[in-house]
Every structure is written in structure tokens, then in C-alpha cells.
Structure 1
Amino acid sequence: MTFPSTLSRRGMLAALSLAALAAPAAAQTAWPAKPVRIIVAYPAGGVSDAVARLLADKLTGPLGQPVIVENRAGASGTIGIDAVAKAAPDGYTVGFSAISPLVLSPHLGKLPYDPAKDIAPVASVMYSPVLLAGTSASDAKNFGELLAAARARPGSVRWATSGSASLGHIMLEHLQSGAKVQFTHVPYKGGGQQITDALGGQFELLSVNTSPALMQHVKAGKLRALAVGAPARLEALPDVPTLGELGHPAANLTSVFGIFAPAGVPQPVLDRLNAEINKALAQPDVRGKLVGSDNVPTGGSAADFARQIAAESANNARIIKAAGIKAN
């Protein structure tokens, strides 16, 4: 039995139309069809680099493609984030960074990217708690005593941070404003000399990300853990309260790290990446690696991560403007 040619042509056109509509969906489900690159905004060899490489290993199997790590360090993470912002929005280039290039750097000067328009948060990976530690230059046994000393003698408590406009500096400004005290800011350009001078009693207080090396000095009694910037107390320091518990929620900040993509990556690809990252973070060896380096795994939805970034950016903008903070 044969059909009229007009019906055959109509059938063929309908089939072609359906195929055209299905093509974009097929292209999306085919991702990834080649290796995926993670740009790490920090040098090789550090904790952030190690975590990114661990994630890359865990993602390679589920994605069915190699996941390659590339380090683009410099300018407090902004060089790496700029590389992500300028990458093709196809899901084959993502970045691993702290959120500071999105929530601090934009309020300190002109950037080659717009965090709100050029970057898409994919997943929160971890937070690195910030320890406030007293040195031998202070007799304060807890954070309340340190604040009392600062109130009694304005400017007498010297607070060392990793630099002007650093997270520690923002915490200092929040405390000065909220607790009505005055500290003397001692900015450093890195953590190494800061720890050396802390052990030598060159100032009363320092704020620094927790690390195994730092914790050794605390356990040895060379530094006194007075408070921590973190959502909850640390397992390693269960008796040390968070700044939030002490009544200073605005200063209760922590270094948050996550995966980011260029704006415009198809939503199904972003959803797949978020799901696989969350699965990786739930694995015992990944959690053990993070906790062992004094970091705390996070995870969660991209929407929640985006809201956290927006809230912290607005909070930082206010305190940076009020305090007149300038970048180094």
C-alpha cells in the first residue's frame, strides 16, 4: 500500500521538526563529551589546591571524562575568577576559589569582571574557620577579657591580620563597630611572618585560618585560642566559642570556598555539577581529608550558595564604606 506524496512530505517535515527540537536536549544530556577543567585561584601545593585535586579525582568517574586542575594564582583569587568569567559558558571550565573575589574585592576597586553578571555559583565546598588567638603579649584568658582590656586602653590591643581589606581586617572592623572598642590594626602580607611574630609576642591578638601547624602551637600553649569565626564550634576546640555565641554575629566570618562557573552555562549542566559535587563531599575519605586539614565540608544547593554570597557581599560593602577601608 502506498501513500500520497503530499502526506509523505508532511510526515517527513514533522519528523525533521521533532528532531530539531530534540537536538538541544540531546546536546545537553551528552555533556561532558570532553575533559572538564577546574581553575584553582591559588598556587599549587596549598590546602585549596589539594582539595580541588581531590574533587577532580572524585568527579572523573561519575562524569566519564578526565577532570583537570589548572592553577591561576594571584591578586587574592581575582586572576583565577577572571579566567572563569571569560571562559566559554559550556560547562567545560569551572573554578575553585574562596568567595572573597566576589564579596570583598568588588568593593575595593575596579575589577575586570562583574561578580553578579559574569559568575554563576555552582556549589559550596568547604569553609575554613578563622581563629582569634591571643599571644604572650596579652594576659587575657578569654575573649571577654581581651575586649575589656581594649575598652580600658583604646588602641592598646594590637590585632594582626593577613593584610588591609583581608577577612581578618573586616572582622576587626565589625568588632570595633559592634563592641565599641578600638584596636590597633597590624596588617601583614602573608601568614608565615604573622605566625612567627605571634610566637614572639609582637602583638596581642591575631586572626588566621586554622591549620594543623597553627593548632600545634595552640596545643603547646604558645598561642591561646580565644574565639573562632565559624558557624559552629570546632571539633578540635570544643571549649572555644564562636564570635556569634559571644554576641558578635556580624564579625562571625569564615573563609568559604566553592565551585563557580561562567554565567550562561546551561542549567542542566550546573545541576549535574552541583549533584556530583555534593555526592563527592558526602564520601568519608573526602570529608576526612577536609576535616584533617581543619576545614569543614559544606555542600548544598547552588541557590543557597548564591544567597550566602549576596548577603556577605552586602555586609562587607557596608563595613568597608563605613570604615574607609582601602586595598593594599
Structure 2
Amino acid sequence: MARVTRRTGLGMVAAALAAPALAQRVDWPPGPIRFIGIFPPGGGTDILSRLWCQKMMELTGEQFIVENRSGSAGNIGTEAIARSAPDGRTIGLGSVAPLAIGPTLYRRLPFDVTRDFTYISGLWQLPNLLVVHPDVPARTVPELIALVKANPGKFTYASSGSGTTVHLSGAMFAAQAGLEMVHVPYRGGAPAHVDLMAGRVHMIFDNIPQALAEAREGKVRPLAVTGAKRSPQAPEIPAMAEFLPGFEITSWGSVVAPAGLPAPMVLRIAALARQALETPELIARFEENGATPWPAGPEELAAFRTANEAAFAPVIRATGVQVD
């Protein structure tokens, strides 16, 4: 990732955004800012995270260095965020998987979602997209359901890890359609897609950015999105709810820091995050990748996370999925 010097970045703020006062009120300590990405490089959430970090570099003149700490459906990277010093030098991706799904899905977590984090800003919301390998002889969701029902236990669905929305989308699909499928978890979306395109697994319900790009290149076949309605980025693809009423799973990403981050710094980062998310350039790049910018503030984000955990809990229990 290209780096922007402090002088150049602040000049851009003054000239383009007229916001130097915001940058001066509460400053980060000198040195690069580490952004912990909780999934592997190359996946949809990693792409979106890097786009936001690049825009933040332009706004602040600070160096934002993305450090990918993947594994355990984002729990490894999320724990690394929680165990960091609350000095503003380490922030990271807060994701639906560890923060809203994990408390119900996992019997034990290495962090407390309410006690160990400072919730700063929303980043994006996006649905998942069901895609299948081109050799799978199904071109619609009803055809796929019929095919899997006729071959119980023979079809596999990949995920970016147990406990992600990618995993739960597949589990919910199997539960609602009455299917017997095999879940194959990976350490992130990128390696899962490698095996999908190689034909080693049959399908994946992945975050829309990477799945949609591969579908448009003809590498996989898209069948349905998991939002409540069709995605504006791909209106030709039906929503799963058109076939299975009530089916809805939406992914989200946010900015979090360790607990104890000083309130003035929280407000500054949140304000800059909103500025970044409201720039036409970043809005366009997010939408190109199937995501909707989500500039929720600290209190809104924390309340949303709590409500989202409560909403996911009965879904997780209904699928019968639980992870040690």
C-alpha cells in the first residue's frame, strides 16, 4: 500500500476538506497506525478495509499499515485487537462474525464483546452471494435444492471459517430447505475460493465483493443474494428470500479498538471515519465491491452490535450449530 506523508496528508485535508481544526484538537501519537485485518489478504473484507485505510491516510497524513491476523472466523485477529494497548496506535476490523455471531455460536471466546473493545465507527454493510462451481448442474435455487435433496451428503459448501455469516448462510440454507450438505471451513474467503474454482468444493455463500467479481468473470455461477431483497449492484440476481421466505443474512464491518481508548480520540477517529465514508471516491469504490457505506457513530455501532447479537441468537440455535 502506498504511504502518504504527514505534510502531504494534512495539505490535502486543508485544501480539499477544510478540516485541519479537527486534526489539531486531538492528535495520534507519532508513528504508523496498525489496522488489524481479521481475515486473510485478498478477500472481500480485506479489500474494503484497505480502501478505507487508504482514504484515512489521505485525510490524516498518518501511515495506516494493514496487518492480517486471520483464523478461527476472525477470532484470532479480534483477540489481538482486544489485547493491544489503548493508545490509538492499534485499531482493527470489527466484524459480525466474532462480535455478533460468536457469543452465541462459541462455547468459549478469548474476549468479551462488551468489555474488551471500544466501538468507534461502522464501515460497511453487505449481503452474501451464493455461487456454485460451473460444473454443478443447477442454474437456479430450486434446481440446486432438488439436486442436493437427490444426493444427500454429497454436496459441500465452503466458508471463510466456522461462525462467519458465510458459514451461517449455508447452514440456514440447508436447514430451511431440508438439505444434508457438508460444511468445509477455511481460514478466510480467499483460500475457500481457490478450492471452489478448482472444483474441490461445490458452493459458497461469500461476501458479495469477491463472489460477484468471480461470477462476472465466468469463474463461478451466481444463484442468489442473502439480503432481504436484491442487491443494487446485481439486480439480475434474485434474493434467497424469493425462494425461502424469511431468509436474510447481512454482513457488516466496523472500526474497533481495545477497551479504554480515550473518549476524545474515539470521537476524532469516528469523525474522520465518517468523512472518509462520505467521500464520493470511497462511496463509489465500496459500491463497486457490492458494499454500502455505513458511517454509524460509536453509540449507534455499540447498540447495533447488541441488537444484532440478539437477532442472530435464535437463528444459530435453530440451525443446531455450535462450535467449541
TM-score, with structure 1 as normaliser? 0.73
Q: What's the counterpart of residue 68 of structure 1? A: 64
Which position in structure 2 is the counterpart of 1:218?
215
**1:54-93 alpha-carbon deviations (Å, 9 max, x no partner):** 4344335655x62432515033332332233233445443
Which residue number in structure 2 is paired with residue 165 of structure 1? 163
Provide the rounded CA distance (Å) in 1 between the counterparts of 2:180 and 2:163: 15
Quick one: structure 1 residues 46 and 176, their matched pair in 2 at CA, closer, same or farther if it must change by over 3 Å?
Answer: closer
SS of the residue aligned with 1:307? Answer: helix
Q: Paired residue for 2:299?
A: 303
Taking the aligned partners of 1:218 and 1:319, their CA distance within structure 2 comes to 28
| Partner Cα distance (2:224, 2:255) in 1 | 28
Q: Higher mean Cα deviation, 32-41 or 251-260?
A: 32-41
Question: In 2, distance between residues paired with 1:84 and 1:199?
Answer: 33
> Where do 1:1-328 residues align within 5 Å?
30-35=25-30, 37-42=33-38, 45-46=41-42, 48-49=45-46, 51-60=48-57, 63=60, 66-71=62-67, 73-75=69-71, 76-106=73-103, 107-150=105-148, 155=153, 158-177=156-175, 179-189=176-186, 191=189, 194-195=192-193, 197-199=195-197, 204-211=202-209, 214-215=211-212, 217-219=214-216, 221=218, 223-230=220-227, 232-249=229-246, 251-327=247-323
* Alpha-carbon contact 2:91-2:256 (below 8 Å) kept: yes
Q: Distance in 1 between matches of 2:70 and 2:153?
A: 33
- Structure 2 CA distance for partners of 1:142 and 1:42, relative to 1, 3 Å: same
Answer whether contact 2:42 2:190 (CA < 8 A) is retained. no
Gaps of 5+ in 2: 1-23
CA change 1:311–1:172 in 2 (3 A) is farther
Equivalent pairs counted in the alignment come to 296
Q: Give the SS at the match of 2:285.
A: helix
Q: Which 4+ residue blocks in structure 1 deviate beyond 6 angstroms?
A: none
Paired residue secondary structure (1:58): helix
CA contact (8 A) 1:158 1:183 kept: no
Any stretches of 5+ residues in structure 1 without a counterpart?
1-28
* Distance of aligned partners of 1:238 and 1:87 in 2 relative to their CA distance in 1, 3 Å threshold: same
- 2:100 and 2:136 map into 1 onto residues whose CA distance is 33
Match of 2:16 in 1: none
Q: Give yes or no for contact 1:160–1:188 (8 Å, CA) kept in 2.
A: yes
The Cα shift of 1:30 comes to 4.1
**8 Å contact 1:133–1:224 — kept in the other structure?**
yes
Checking the alignment, whether the CA contact within 8 Å between 1:170 and 1:316 is kept in structure 2 is: no
Give, in whole Å, the separation in 1 of the partners of 2:151 and 2:53. Answer: 51
Q: C-alpha distance in 2, partners of 1:144/1:273?
A: 46
CA contact (8 A) 1:159 1:183 kept: no
Kept in 2: contact 1:173–1:319 (CA 8 A): no
State the match for 1:5 in structure 2: none
Any conservation in 1 of the 2:41–2:68 contact (CA below 8 Å)?
no
**Structure 2 CA distance for partners of 1:276 and 1:220, relative to 1, 3 Å:** closer
Deviation at 1:199, TM superposition (A): 4.4
Rg larger in 1 or in 2?
A: 1
Aligned partners of 2:239, 2:309: CA distance in 1, in Å?
A: 21
Contact in 2 for aligned 1:40/1:80 (Cα 8 Å): yes
Partner of 1:14: none
Q: Cα 1:202–1:315, aligned 2, differ >3 Å: closer, same or farther?
A: same
**Does the 8 Å contact 1:41/1:79 carry over to 2?**
no
Q: C-alpha root-mean-square deviation of aligned residues, in Å? A: 3.5
Taking a change above 3 Å as real, the CA distance of residues 229 and 302 of structure 1, as seen in their structure-2 partners, is: farther
In structure 2, how many angstroms separate the alpha carbons of the residues matched to 1:93 and 1:224?
39
